[in-house]
Chain A
Amino acid sequence: MLLRENGGRDASPEAVTSGRFSDTSSRHFLLTSQNSDGGWGYHPATPSSVEATAWASLALLSRAADPSPAEACARARAWLLRAQMPDGAWPAFPGQRQGCWATSLAALALHLEGGSPEAVERGRDWLLEAWPADGNLWWRLRLVLARGTVVRQDNSLHGWSWTPGTASWVEPTAHALLFLRSLPQELLSPRAAKRRQLGERMLYDRMCPGGGWNSGNPQVYGVAGIPRIGPTAWALLALLPHSQRAENQMSLGWLEGAYPRIRGAASLALAHRCLRAYGRPVGPLTPDLGDLYLRNCFFASVLTFAWIALAGSGEENRARQAGGDRATS
């Protein structure tokens, strides 16, 4: 079956094919859906995006057991370097005028691949200067005047926003923390350490009352927010150094309870990766994905295939078993 999507535009026929989903499907998909410019679009044969390219690179880099797809990664690295803006940030797509949350992911991919220290440091510097707008005076005044009691959260705790001039949210904050955590100590100034701590405190503040996270509103109009799989997994991965904290354990409990009800491949991959990273028992991922693959081919989403590859890699799990879990409770 050839997957056609977006109104009949052909998805790359080499990239998405019929048949069963296997352990090698994600890697095959990613390698065959790379654009000729070296980047990846969100779907095969669509314009390269920074986020998709970063995740595809990270996924290919993570498969330690596979022969290294060095050529694909080198082309991706070159594309990411070309896409970096003069101020050190990355936009969502080349040509856009502002940097955004994708900066964390691009810098992380370049850092883990190695060989681009200057670009990584410029990305880091942009992130450290990228303050969300929700802590400014106007925002606080507006909260007091308009709806001070509507949303329960501490707006003095800053994380990172999706786009400049907007508020802190869970997912971009988690991504920034994952990037900063990947850097060696010599690349982290005291300012970076403080920013990281602030971001972690912001994540804990935005946790839903019963554990887990949604996009970043834990309580509105006095009603507890409903956690979601993706933000919970990202927040827990970002807070892995504090794995023994009660908030982490409560949120893991929520995620474990929700796991059997997950209906999307992307969520399943993220949850699986997260549970493995915390050493929680979780069955093999591939059989659970098989039915979804037959139904929708994961909508030929590069992100989904990349997250599946990362989940299968057990990257964090290996680090934890090797003593890499810097649990500080």
Chain B
Amino acid sequence: MSLAKRALVPSFARPASWVAIVRADSYQMDLGTLIFNALREFDLRLRDKRVVLKPNFVEPDLDGVINTHPAVIAAARESFLRLGAASVQVAEGPGHERDTEAIVETLRLRDFLGPLPGVFVDLNLDEVRRVPLQTRASRLRELYLPRTVLEADFLVSLPKLKTHHWVGATLSLKNMFGIVPGCCYGWPKNILHWAGITGSILDINSTVRPDFAIVDGIVGMEGNGPIQGTAKASGVLILGEDPVAVDATAARVMGLEPERIDYLAKAGTLLGHLRPDKIRQLGESVRSVRTPFAVLPAFQKLVASS
């Protein structure tokens, strides 16, 4: 299971991480084949495992810019099933919108996944269990967390490639805020902000550690993300077993310096690799797909110089 099953290992003692960048120009492509082939590059042992995909759903959005696109979710689900997973659920607890049904209906998630009961879980209303946190980066010491996530054998963070008006960029680590249940903490999950956003990201990801990350960067969001920004076509999917390395790579694709994103810089000490020399690239190079994202003036300092 994903709950603290692996010891936290300082980056200097970790082997390099592999990250795949796959070109995908549109959501109409055969994403199932693209993702399946990319996943085969990793030594994933999924036979009979319960896989949970955690996309990023924020609010009903007709334009398809805010939320992880359902085509990517469906392609990932199909791929993990082809790799032998016993079940693949999609689970999310939106941070602002209580009516999760309104989001999945607007997204037409059912059209991509088939009937949703049994496949989709609203983490905001799931059963919860009290979990002591593995690190003390924030003022949180424990959280109630949803059973679906805690009982998963293999947890996949499936975010959208977006800027974020509080932390600079929201990727696979920040996406894990969505596992914190609204039924205990409300909408928004304001306790995480008061405990410190950076520290909360670190504490959650050190405790419930995503086994894999797939960033939907086919169309991302730049500017005043994560809700009111502008669509930005980047034409990539970014995948890997080390969510820090995936996020660092995604940030570089966005033209940002991951070392300057506070939570990523700190995550690079214990949760995964940040430095380029510790990340082995599969597929496309960062340089070949780099698509600089506009950021708010407050985050100009994150922009890479070249």
CA distance A256 to B181 in the complex (A): 30
What mask results when residues 126 to 154 of chain B are scored 1 for a CB within 8 Å of chain A, else 0? 11100000000000000010011001000
User: Contact at B185–A6, with CB atoms within 8 Å?
Assistant: no
Instruction: In the complex, identify which listed stretch (A165-173, A194-202, A310-318) lies at the interface while the others stay far away.
Output: A165-173
Within 8 A of B (CB), among A64-114: 92-93, 96, 100-101
Number of residues of chain B lying within 8 A (CB) of chain A: 46
Q: Please pick, from B121, B188, B194, the residue contacting A5 in the complex, using a CB distance under 8 A.
A: B121
Q: Does A21 contact B (CB under 8 A)?
A: no
- Contacts of B110 on A, CB cut-off 8 Å? 295-296
CA distance A221 to B97 in the complex (A): 21
User: Contact at A226–B227, with CB atoms within 8 Å?
Assistant: yes
Q: Does B117 contact A (CB under 8 A)?
A: yes
- Contacts of B184 on A, CB cut-off 8 Å? 92-93, 96, 100, 163
Q: Does B89 contact A (CB under 8 A)?
A: yes
Q: Does A297 contact B (CB under 8 A)?
A: yes
Q: Does A266 contact B (CB under 8 A)?
A: yes
- Contacts of A161 on B, CB cut-off 8 Å? 186, 190
Query: 6 closest A-B pairs (Cβ-Cβ)?
Result: A162-B186, A264-B102, A264-B99, A263-B105, A42-B125, A264-B101
Contact of A297 with B117 at beta-carbon distance under 8 Å, contacts A51-B183, A265-B101 already known = yes
* CB closest residue in chain A, given B182: A162
- Contacts of A254 on B, CB cut-off 8 Å? none
User: Contact at B121–A163, with CB atoms within 8 Å?
Assistant: no
* CB closest residue in chain A, given B103: A264
A contact set with B: CB distance below 8 Å: 3-8, 41-43, 46-47, 49, 51, 92-93, 96, 100-101, 133, 147, 150, 161-163, 165-167, 169, 171-172, 214-215, 220-221, 223, 226, 228-230, 262-267, 292, 295-301, 303-304
CA distance A214 to B100 in the complex (A): 15
Contact of A299 with B296 at beta-carbon distance under 8 Å, contacts A101-B186, A292-B105 already known = no
- Contacts of A92 on B, CB cut-off 8 Å? 144, 183-184
User: Contact at A166–B101, with CB atoms within 8 Å?
Assistant: no
User: Contact at B99–A300, with CB atoms within 8 Å?
Assistant: no
Least Cβ–Cβ distance between A156 and chain B, in angstroms = 18
Q: Does B2 contact A (CB under 8 A)?
A: no
- Contacts of A4 on B, CB cut-off 8 Å? 117-118
- Contacts of A6 on B, CB cut-off 8 Å? 121, 126-127, 147-148
A selection of 9 A-B contacts at a CB cut-off of 8 Å is A6-B147, A163-B184, A167-B190, A215-B187, A221-B224, A230-B99, A296-B105, A299-B117, A301-B122
- Contacts of A7 on B, CB cut-off 8 Å? 50, 87, 89, 118, 121, 148, 151
CA distance A207 to B193 in the complex (A): 21
CA distance A150 to B224 in the complex (A): 12
Give the interface centre of B96, B190, B296 by most chain A CB atoms within 10 Å: B190
CA distance A262 to B101 in the complex (A): 10
- Contacts of B193 on A, CB cut-off 8 Å? 166-167
Least Cβ–Cβ distance between A49 and chain B, in angstroms = 6
- Contacts of B186 on A, CB cut-off 8 Å? 100-101, 161-163, 166, 169, 171-172
Q: Please pick, from B125, B194, B224, the residue contacting A166 in the complex, using a CB distance under 8 A.
A: B194
User: Contact at B148–A46, with CB atoms within 8 Å?
Assistant: no
- Contacts of B165 on A, CB cut-off 8 Å? 150, 220-221
Q: Does B60 contact A (CB under 8 A)?
A: yes
Give the interface centre of B103, B121, B151 by most chain A CB atoms within 10 Å: B121
Contact of A163 with B185 at beta-carbon distance under 8 Å, contacts A96-B144, A296-B117 already known = yes
Least Cβ–Cβ distance between A67 and chain B, in angstroms = 30
CA distance A9 to B89 in the complex (A): 13
- Contacts of A304 on B, CB cut-off 8 Å? 101
CA distance A59 to B146 in the complex (A): 27
Least Cβ–Cβ distance between B192 and chain A, in angstroms = 9
User: Contact at A169–B188, with CB atoms within 8 Å?
Assistant: yes
